[in-house]
Chain A
Amino acid sequence: MKNPILELKNIDLCVSNFTINQINLTLYPGEVHMIMGENGSGKSLLMELISGLVQPDSGEIWYDGKLMTQGFQTPASNEQLIFIQQYSILLENISVAENLYFHNLPYKNKFLKIIDYPKLNAQFRDLIKELDLPIKDTDKVEHLGLAQRQMIEFLKAYVSNSKVVILDEPSASLTSSERDLLYRIVNQIKKRGAGIFYITHRIDDAIQIGDRITLLNNGSLIGTKVIAETTEDEIINLLVGTHLKERYPKLNCKKGKELFSVSNLSYEDKLLDINFRLQEGEVFGITGLAGSGRSLLAKCLFGALNYQGQISIQGKPVRLKSPKDAIAHQIALLPEDRYEDSIFKYLNTMENVALPSLHRFSQNSIINSHFMNQSVLDYINKLNLPKGNRKNINSFSEGSLQKAIFAKWLMSLARIFILDEPTRGIDLASKIDIYNFINDLTKKKAAVIYISSDVEEIMGICDRVAILTDKSILCILKTSETSVQEITELQIRGNKENHTKE
């Protein structure tokens, strides 16, 4: 038996409202170690821990028989580990080859730092030939697509001399041919003797290239298995077997007339043929793995993307050319990225909250600011937001911010609420508030589209759920007739044929 290249011993960490408990993990040279777990189970945090971006509260990290006291962020150890994150961090102004060999550029003159470009480009061409890459050596970074940029990131891991490679959900947004290429790169990295931590949501990734698999839930290890000695079902059972007791406040409201319907909606090649209907008083869940197009769908339904297909409100076809149209049709969106997409950072609470409702306070084009103030204060009180109208909204906690955005749409009297990951990253109390807001909405005949990657939450909050896989809706199920297990399984396997129930 070889010695592990990396070993974690009894690692504990507590950050704000999340804890990582007693993690023991090993990585051998030439091994692909898959890490799986639901969203929020602590995978990414664990990887940040390993890479030294975060220091553990207690426990030890051993690298190559040496105790790492300062993680991998010191100059001496920096090159031993490479962490490829989900988003690409390529520099746009320099060539692909320069990006790729950034840390070990060939120099003509090392002292004067004169780069040997012919050698650099030759190296890159060899690499392209070796791996049969769909990239030309003359390509500029700024012209590359998202998937190609990600490919370059993976190649960085290949050309580096790092003994530990971390890939954070590398396959999430790749097509199947791109995924094959990724597998080839991973196998090459493995061949040069590095150990790889590979985070994924896809069981097929694990089966195809993984050597061992570790499953995480809620910051603790469920177990580590050798993939060759286990079956797909066993892994799925381990993953979804950690089922919790019902904890979501859900009111069953009478459903009314059809309020909203979508038929044959497509967007570029990223969403295909989406169909569903929504009734008054209904909470309709949409779930899917990362990269399945959940947020794109939300944006289409809000008119923020130029979709094809038909959206109808109360049976009447409408064309949503922009969010302005959507707001006029009483559609509201709480986007996934709260700070970027839904507030004006330089306006105060009142201005942010009142914005879509200005017409309600205006008479002959003059805004009655007294009423506006009073109304916003009323919402601030009721929703228990930081007191005062003039607060800087940018300083709000995630939970308060989300509630403020909710208040904005409540005040504008929207009827169709699209909530994209509304409770991700917010404190528990705000979470419960949001669930109860939804109850109040459905009681009063509004409808909610609830997008979440947390299957348990979807089961607890929604009446029906659509499972989005590979750009289209795989199936729509009643939450009363399905289970967390079934939905997770459908997501991971991604097709209905393998699915035995029915």
Chain B
Amino acid sequence: MFAIERIKIIKNHLLKEQKVSVAKLSELLNVTEVTIRRDLEKLEHEGFLKRTHGGAVLTDYVEDALNGESEDFDDFINYQEIADTASRLVNDGESIMLTSGLINQFIARSLGERSGISIVTNDFQIAQNFQSQGDNCLIFLGGDMDDKAVYGQMTLDNLRNFSFDHVFIEVDGLHEANGITVNSTKKATLIQKAAALSESVNIVCLSKNFGSRSLYRVGKLEMANRILTDSKLDDHFKSMIYNHKIPLFTSIDVYEN
């Protein structure tokens, strides 16, 4: 069996069970324990799990995210892929705004490994997830707390003090005619403001949310400089985005090295 499939199985298993043992995986996948250890090492490096004596457990943030809204295990692999792409779009020393959302938590996580990065966010969990090690810095906006993020006039006033190289905006709907939509008006206002202050606007959206729309409109598709999604995206949307002349990153993981 190829490493790529093995890793997928390990991830799924871990997400379901929260902990695994090397012996059990080795039996399950019919490969030696050495191979399993190597795979686990790789996943630990990605920040997906923590190795323990004779096995591994999920890292806290993956577990936290799991306790949140989504039950779909596959999504977490997708989040990780998107976060990886996002962190590669950022250069060391740049300033980034992350709006609230689950994928953005993963992005914050992978940006933590870079240096000289400044992150501004309104999401409490993103702030927690970003390890400001070395010369990275984190700025948490002020405002009215609502569902683990801050919004309102105070937040907007706060935001006015910054300018960003990138803003990563996690949205709930992306539709050719209706444009980019989110599920609350506060969020939409904040995003519009943040997008105006940023050099490049990166829209983050899971493939399953393409073609759907939420209640509050943020803007037209053209507001995006890039769109980031996972590899399950339907072909029809790929050509639609291409025709709108927006680079589309599907974060597909096809190559084993």
Contacts and interface: CB of A to CB of B under 8 A. Distances in A.
Interface stretch (A94-102, A180-188, A242-250, A341-349): A242-250
Interface string A63-78: 0000000000000000
B250 A446 contact: no
Contact of B242 (A384, A428, A437, A441): A428
A382 B243 contact: no
A253 B255 contact: no
Interface string B97-109: 0000000000000
Nearest to B251: A436
Contacts of A429: 235-236, 238-239, 242
B253 interface: yes
Nearest to B244: A247
Size band of the interface chain A makes with B: 35 or more
Contact of B257 (A407, A427, A432, A445): A445
B250 A253 contact: no
A439 B249 contact: yes
Interface residues of B, number: 31
B248 A249 contact: yes
Interface in B84-104: 84-85, 88-89, 91
Nearest to B246: A247
B231 A428 contact: no
A443 interface: yes
A246 B247 contact: yes
B252 interface: yes
A440 B254 contact: yes
B248 A382 contact: no
Given A247-B246, A251-B88, A443-B88, A410 B254 contact: yes
Contact of B88 (A252, A445, A446): A252
A252 to B, nearest CB: 7
Interface in A114-164: none
A384 B250 CA distance: 13
Interface string A406-444: 010010010000000000000111111100110111011
Nearest to A460: B247
B245 interface: yes
A371 interface: yes
Interface in B205-245: 226, 231, 235-236, 238-239, 241-243, 245
Contacts of A375: 1-2, 5
B5 A432 contact: no
A231 interface: no
Interface string B168-203: 000000000000000000000000000000000000
A433 B250 contact: yes
Nearest to B226: A249
B85 A431 contact: no
A383 interface: yes
Interface string B133-163: 0000000000000000000000000000000
Contacts of B27: none
Contacts of A248: 247
Interface of A: 244-253, 371, 374-375, 378-379, 382-384, 407, 410, 413, 427-433, 436-437, 439-441, 443-446
19 contacts: A244-B245, A247-B242, A249-B248, A251-B249, A375-B2, A378-B2, A382-B231, A384-B235, A429-B235, A429-B238, A430-B235, A431-B242, A432-B250, A437-B254, A437-B255, A439-B85, A440-B253, A440-B254, A444-B256
